[in-house]
Each structure stands twice: as C-alpha cells, then as structure tokens.
Amino acid sequence: MWRESRRRKTTKAECVDTQVCEHLRRNLRRVRISSAIDFDESLSAGKLAARQIAVENLRCGELWLVVDAFGRIHTPITNLPKELRAYLTVDGKRLANVDVGEAQPLFLALFLRENARLQESKNLRNQGHPPAHPYDGQSMMDNRPQEEVDLDRTALPADLRRYLELCENRGFYQAVASKLNMHRADVKKRVLATLFDRPWRRNAISGVLGELFPAVVQNMREIKRGNYRRLAHTAQRIESAFMFGRVVPRIMAERPKMFVSTIHDSILTTAENAEYVRGVMLAEFARLGVTPQVQVEPC
C-alpha cells in the first residue's frame, strides 16, 4: 500500500496538459507485447528478472503513467529496455521510434540561444533601441500560432552558433569524441553526465568542452550557480514543453486515432505513421528556427 501512496505522491500532472495525459494513457492501453520473447541468457540474474517482470507487468495491464516535476512522462514503455521494444505491437502492427538526434544538447542549445537573444535585446534597450526581435520576452516554447522564427544567427556568440549547428547536424558528440580519439558512442553518456554535473568537477570531457565551446560552458556554469541541477531540469522542461506542448497536441488534432506514445524526446508509433510523425517534429522544430536530424528507427 505504501508503494501506492508513493506513486500517488509523484503523480503530479500540472505541467502537462490533462488532455495530453489522457490521450497518452488511452494509447498506452492499446499496446501489446509478444508472448514469445528471447531473453538474453547472458544477462545477470537480476537484469534478467527485471526484464521478465517488466514484460509481465505489460501483459497484465500494469499501465501506469507518471508526470514528474519537470514535465517528463514515465510509463512502462519508457522504462522498457530498448531491445524489448521489438516485441511491442499495436493493432497487430510493429512499431517504430521517431528519434531526435542529440536531443538533450539541442534543447540546451535552444535555451542558451534564447538567453543570448534576451541578453542582446536587453543591452539594446538600455542603449535606447527598440527590442531586437518580436519574439523578445516571450517563452520560446509558448505554443502561439506565430510564424516561423526568423533568427539572425550572426548575432549569437561564435561558439554558441557552432554548438547549435553541430547539434543540428548530429555532430556534437562526434566533435568531442574526435578530440579525445574516442568513438562517439563511448563519449555520449559521459558528455551528457559532464554537461549536467557539478561545475567544479573536472575531467577530460569537461576540458574538451571548455576548449571547443568556452562561452557555452561559461553560460552553463552561470545557470548552475547555486544549484547545479538547474541545467538538467531546464533541459527537461524544454523537452517536455516541446513534446507535450507542441508535437503531441498537433498529432492529437490532426490524427486523433493514430497510436502515439512518448519516450522522453522520441515518439513511438506504428511503422506506417512514422514518416508523418517525423514531418510533424521537423515542422515544429522549424517554428523554433532549428533543423535537427530526426530519424525513424524500426523497433
């Protein structure tokens, strides 16, 4: 019973629209998982048991949905090991994942870009100029029916511009990996940890980041001042606002019957609808003035 109370305590959906939550909950109930799963026998007993329990819970209809304080939605699907997604179906159809390349650094880049723009606008006002951009003062994730953002990137600090472009081209992790003579996959998790870590802790990754993007790192350190978790929380809020404030509502409006489930910054849907979802995500990113890589990966 105390687990139930703990779950109730953490189920606070204030930061995600109720209709979005209900839509995702309804879609969750449509998911089925195959009865014939080849578990990796080389796994430790604990890992194997955890996978078996996760699968059993899905079969039994244990379909919880929790919104955390930073707007992320957690479900049995988000907790499911990636390799088991291949066994999921909806209406008998296999699923595909529509994934944003280097999403976390990209959302951070959007936040830093907005910061830089607001700072620039503030400086101009102080000099007696009108606001630099009609977007000034408005949250970048407000879902108003405004036109696409016409962003003058030349006004941004050079290394922030380069950081943003690398994120868009899925080259950010590779740039760090190349400096360290490592493989992209090996540095990815460490880069993410370093970005969100305590700013006073230094390692090889933080050294390379400081070398490649000095103003970006300095900006991040300022955001972390007083509470280093703020940067991670901010990135998650931006991700949440984008996914549940823009992408999912648009899909709900345009294709209300289409299956959709989220895995933080990616969207799970049936393979036949994956290209449509990819188009929606690209269009919504375009409204924010960025063109990241969005890939469809069959589960």
Partner DNA sequence: TTAATGGTGGCCTCTATGTA
Partner DNA sequence: TACATAGAGGCCACCATTAA
Binding site for DNA (CB under 7 A): 1-3, 5-7, 10, 44, 46-47, 50-51, 53, 62, 64, 66, 68-70, 72, 74, 78-83, 99, 103-104, 189, 192-193, 196-198, 229, 232-233, 236, 263-266
CB of 112 to DNA, least distance (A): 17
Q: Residue 121 or residue 219: which is nearer to DNA going by CB?
A: 219
Place of tokens 């796994």: 43
Give 140 or 235: the residue with its C-beta nearer to DNA: 235
Helices and strands: H and E segment counts in the chain: 13, 8
Q: Is the dihedral of CA 272, 171, 229, 151 positive or negative?
A: negative
Q: Between 69 and 286, whose beta carbon lies closer to DNA?
A: 69
26 versus 201: smaller Cβ distance to DNA: 201
Nearest approach, Cβ of residue 288 and DNA (Å): 17
**Pick 132 or 174: Cβ nearer DNA:** 174
Q: Which two tokens stand for residue 53?
A: 């329990």
DSSP single-letter state for residue 7: H
What single DSSP character describes residue 22? H
Residues 141 and 123 sit within 8 Å (Cβ to Cβ): no
Place of tokens 């830093």: 112
Nearer to DNA, 198 or 257 (CB): 198
Q: 274 is written with which tokens?
A: 């994956």
Instruction: Spell 61-91 as b/e; 16+ CB within 10 A means b.
Output: eeeebbbbebbbbbbbbbebeeebbebbbbe
CB of 197 to DNA, least distance (A): 4
CB of 111 to DNA, least distance (A): 15
Quick one: 41 exposed, middle or buried, by C-beta within 10 A (0-12, 13-18, 19+)?
Answer: exposed
Shortest Å distance, C-beta 194 to DNA: 8
Specify the 3-state DSSP secondary structure of 294.
Answer: strand
Nearest distance, CB of residue 201 and DNA, angstroms:
8
